[in-house]
Amino acid sequence: MMKASRQPMLLGTALMFLAAGTLFGCKDSFLTDAAAAQGVLDQNVLANATGVEGNLIAAYRSLDYTNGVGGSQCSAASDWCWGSITSDDAYKGTEPSDFTALNDIEAYHWGTGLADGVLNDKWRAIYEGVSRANATLNLLASVVKDKPTELSATDQAGVAGEATFLRAHYMFEAYKVFGNVPYLRETDTDVRKASISKAEVGNEIIKDLDAAIGLLPTSPRNGQVGRATQWTAKAYKGKVLMYLKQYAAAKTVLAEVVASGKYALQPSYDQVWTGFKAFENGPETIFAYQASANDGEPNGNNANYGERLNFPHSGSPFGCCGFHQPSQNLINFFKTDAAGLPLAISNKAGWNADNQDLRGAVTANMNFDPRVDWTAGRNGVPFKDWGLHDSTWIRNIPNGGTYSAKKNVHEKASGAQSSVGWVNTQLNSVNIHILRYADVLLLLAEADVETGDLAGAMTYTNMVRQRAMATAQGPVDGPLAVAINDPRITWAKYTISLWPASTFADPTTAMEAVRTERRLELAMEGQRFFDLKRWGTMEQTIKEYIQGVGGGNEAARRAFFTTAELPAARHDNFPIPTVQIELSKVEGETRVPQNTGW
C-alpha cells in the first residue's frame, strides 16, 4: 500500500494466530474446516478483538507462506517458479541436481511425479490463505454477534474488507495457476466443493473485490502500512478485469486509480525493490508482502523466505543459492538501437543473436536500457553496493548462465539483512511487490489500446519509460544511482528514449510497444508467463524462445532445453495435484477433476 504512516503491520511473530491449522495433515478432505479456528488457541480464547486481528494478520502472513505447511519456495509471493522460470525471462539456474522438481517445471514436463509434488505445495499454500481469510470472517461474525461492542463499526468493516480482499487475492493465484478450482467462502460448511470453470472463478473474484471495495477505507486502517485499502482493491480489480478481457471495465477502474493521485512512480528505479526503509512502501507500492527481518523470529522466517534461494552463490557475499537466473534471451531483450528504442522491435532478425557472456568489458559500447542493470547481475558490473558481480558468484554456468537475479537483493548499506537463520546473508526485509503502480500504468495502456485510445496508451507507456531514463546503476565507489550518462559508467552505453508517436499510430505497433515495455519493466517479477497466457501468445513465444527467435535459441545455449516439451494448449493451466483430486472424492464422485490434457 501507499506510505501512510510510520507504523508497519508485522506479518508473523507472536501475534500470528494459527487461523486454520495445517492443511491435509490427517484430514479426509482437501481442506480443513474453514468454519472454526483450530490449534493451540481455540475459538473461545480467540473470541475477542485481539483474536480477530490476530487471525487477520495470519491471513496476510500466507502471502509468502512457504514453510508453515511443509511447502517450498514455490509458494513465494513473487511466483518466481510459476510466472518466471516457465517464461523466457529466467532459468531455474543453480545445479541440475538441486531442487530437481523445478527441472520438470522449467522444461514443461508438468505431469511428472516431481512436478506434482511442488504443484501440491502451491495448492496447499493458496488454500491455506483462503482458509485463514474465511476463518477470520467467521470469527469476526461470531464476536460481533456475541460481543457487539468489542469492535467498532469501522474495525468490523475494515477486518471484513481486508479478509475478503485477501481471499480474492488467493483465489486469483488459484485462477492464474490452476484455472478450474473450487471457490471457498466462509459460509461453506463442507469445503469439499466442486470445481467451477476458470471463467466462473474470475467472476467470483470480481464479486469479492467489489465487496471489499464497499467495506475498505481509503487509507490503511490504524495507519498501518501493508493493510489493503479501497484503492488497493480497485487497482487489483482492474488487473483481474484485464485477465477476464473486460477491457472497457478495466480501463474505467484503472483510470480511476491513476486519477486518484494515491500512487506515483518512484523517481528512481532503485527505490522500487529496496531494503532502505526510507523507500519502503513508497508511492509506487499498491500491494506487497511486508517482509520482516530481525523481529524476534529466531529463524528469519518472516523475511523474504520465498525469495531466499534467488541470490548469487558461494563466491558472493550471500553464500547461496543461485536459483532464478536471468536468461540470455532476457539480457539481449534489454538492448536498444541508436535511437534508444528496443532492438527487439527495430531488428527482429538479430536482437537475440548474442550467445556470449555480456559482461561489462564486452558491453562497454553497447546500447542498453538502464533497467538491465537494476534487474540482473552481470560480470564486471556493480551489483548494487556489493562490489562487482563476478563469475565465481555463479554455481554452474553451463546450467544457469552467467547472470544473477538482482531485484530481490538488499543493499549492503540498507541494514535489511537478517542476523539469524540458515544462510542469513540471503534473508532480508525487502518487500515483495505483488502489485505496483508501474504495473497499473501498463495495464491501463494495454486497456487503452484494446479500446482504441492509442494516445492514452502512449502517455501511460511513456510515463514508465520516462522513469527508466532517470538513473542507472552507479559505480562501485560512488552513489548507488547516477545519471544514465555519468562518465563513471564504463560497462554499457545506456541509450533510451521515449516511444515516438509513430509507434502508436496503429493498434498493432502500439500493442507491441506496450507488451515490450511490460517485459522490460516487470522482468523477473513473476509476471511474464501469466502475461503470455492472457495474451494468447504463450505457445508461440515459448516455442520461439526454445527453438529460435531474433537470431538465437535457448536449446543451443542450455542443454536441458533439447529435451523440453514444447508448450501446447494443455499448458494454459497447470495440472491439478493428484492428491487434491483424490481427496475431493465424495461417495465416488470426483469433485475436483483434472484439467484438460493432463
Is pLDDT of 34 > 90? no
Query: Which residues are 196's β-sheet partners?
Result: 181
278, three cell numbers: 526510507
Residue 118, Cα to own-chain centre: how many angstroms? 17
502, three cell numbers: 509513430
Distances (CA, A) of 279 to 11, 265, 473: 19, 12, 17
pTM score, two decimals? Answer: 0.94
Read off the amino acid at residue 542: I
CB atoms under 10 Å from CB of 312, counted, come to 28
CB-based contact 257:430 (threshold 8 Å): no
Distance in angstroms (rounded) separating the CA atoms of residues 115 and 93: 17
What average pLDDT does range 277-297 have in this prediction?
97
Distance in angstroms (rounded) separating the CA atoms of residues 410 and 426: 9
CB-based contact 458:510 (threshold 8 Å): yes
CA dihedral 173, 175, 179, 184 (to 10 degrees): 100
Read off the amino acid at residue 479: P
Is pLDDT of 491 > 60? yes
For cell 538502464, the residue is 370
Is pLDDT of 11 > 70? no
Percent of the chain with pLDDT over 70: 92
For cell 515490450, the residue is 516
Distance in angstroms (rounded) separating the CA atoms of residues 310 and 473: 20
Alpha helices in 301-404 (DSSP H): 328-333, 343-346, 372-375, 397-400
Is pLDDT of 257 > 70? yes
How long is the chain? 598
Read off the amino acid at residue 7: Q
Per residue in 128-167, pLDDT (tens digit) is: 999 999 999 999 999 999 999 999 999 999 999 999 999 9
Residues whose CB is less than 8 angstroms from the CB of residue 73 and which lie 6 or more positions away in sequence, other chains included = 66, 80, 81, 305, 306, 307, 308, 309, 323
Q: Which domains does the chain have, with CATH numbers?
A: 12-69+113-261+573-590 (1.25.40.390), 322-407+434-567 (1.25.40.390)
What average pLDDT does range 78-98 have in this prediction?
98
Residue 36, Cα to own-chain centre: how many angstroms? 30
Is pLDDT of 189 > 80? yes
Q: What is the DSSP string of 142-205?
A: HHHHH-TTSS-HHHHHHHHHHHHHHHHHHHHHHHHHTSSB----TT-S---PPPB-HHHHHHHH
Distance in angstroms (rounded) separating the CA atoms of residues 283 and 294: 25
Helix (H, G, I), strand (E, B) or coil at 130: helix
Write the DSSP symbol of residue 83: I
What average pLDDT does range 59-84 have in this prediction?
90
pLDDT for residue 44: 75
Read off the amino acid at residue 486: D
Distance in angstroms (rounded) separating the CA atoms of residues 254 and 567: 32
What average pLDDT does range 379-395 have in this prediction?
98
What average pLDDT does range 199-220 have in this prediction?
98
pLDDT for residue 71: 79
Closest residue by Cα to residue 173 from 142, 217, 136, 128: 128
Question: Is the previous residue joined to 26 through a cis bond, with omega within 30 degrees of 0?
Answer: no
Distance in angstroms (rounded) separating the CA atoms of residues 596 and 571: 9
Q: In the chain, what is the greatest distance between 2 CA atoms, to the nearest angstrom? A: 73
pLDDT for residue 72: 87
Is pLDDT of 598 > 50? yes
Is pLDDT of 8 > 60? no
Distance in angstroms (rounded) separating the CA atoms of residues 183 and 196: 7
Distances (CA, A) of 90 to 61, 93, 314, 404, 513: 27, 8, 20, 10, 21
Residues whose CB is less than 8 angstroms from the CB of residue 230 and which lie 6 or more positions away in sequence, other chains included = 161, 212, 213, 216, 217, 218
Strands 493-494 and 367-368: parallel
Backbone angles phi and psi of 307, in degrees to 5 = -105, 0
Helix (H) or strand (E) run with residue 129 in it: helix 113-146
Q: How many Cα neighbours within 13 Å face the side chain of 170?
A: 31
SS (H, E, C) 395-406: CCHHHHCCCEEC
Report the mean per-residue pLDDT for the chain.
93
Distance in angstroms (rounded) separating the CA atoms of residues 304 and 169: 19
What average pLDDT does range 563-592 have in this prediction?
97
Angle at 392 between CA 388 and CA 398, to 5 degrees: 120
Alpha helices in 411-537 (DSSP H): 437-450, 454-468, 507-522, 528-535
What average pLDDT does range 487-505 have in this prediction?
98
Per residue in 408-426, pLDDT (tens digit) is: 999 999 999 999 999 999 9
For cell 507462506, the residue is 65
pLDDT for residue 45: 80
What average pLDDT does range 68-78 have in this prediction?
86
Distance in angstroms (rounded) separating the CA atoms of residues 146 and 131: 22
